Amino acid sequence: MPLDRDVELDELYREIILDHYRNPRNRGSLDQPNAIGEGDNPLCGDEVRVDLDIRDGRVSDVRFEAKGCSISQASASMMTEAVKGLSLEEVDSLFETFKGMMYGSDEVDVEALGDLEALQGVRKFPVRVKCATLAWNTLQEALEEFGKGRG
Residues 6+ apart with CB under 8 A from 106: none
Instruction: Point out which span in 13-21, 88-96, 101-109, 133-141 binds another protein (CB under 8 A).
Output: 13-21
**Does 7 engage in binding with another protein (CB under 8 A)?**
no
Q: Report residue 64: phi and psi, to 5°.
A: -140, 155
Give, as ranges, the residues between 28 and 67 that touch another protein (CB under 8 A).
43-47, 67
CB closer to another protein out of 91 and 122: 122
**Does 125 engage in binding with another protein (CB under 8 A)?**
yes
What are residue 97's DSSP bridge partners? none
d(CA 123, CA 8): 10
User: What angle do helix axes 129-150 and 88-102 make, rounded to 10 degrees?
Assistant: 160
User: What angle do helix axes 70-83 and 129-150 make, rounded to 10 degrees?
Assistant: 40
**Does 126 engage in binding with another protein (CB under 8 A)?**
no
Applying CB under 8 A, among 52, 59, 62, 71 the residue interacting with another protein is 71
Residues that bind another protein (CB under 8 A): 1, 3, 6, 8-9, 12-13, 15, 18, 22, 43-47, 67-71, 125, 128, 131
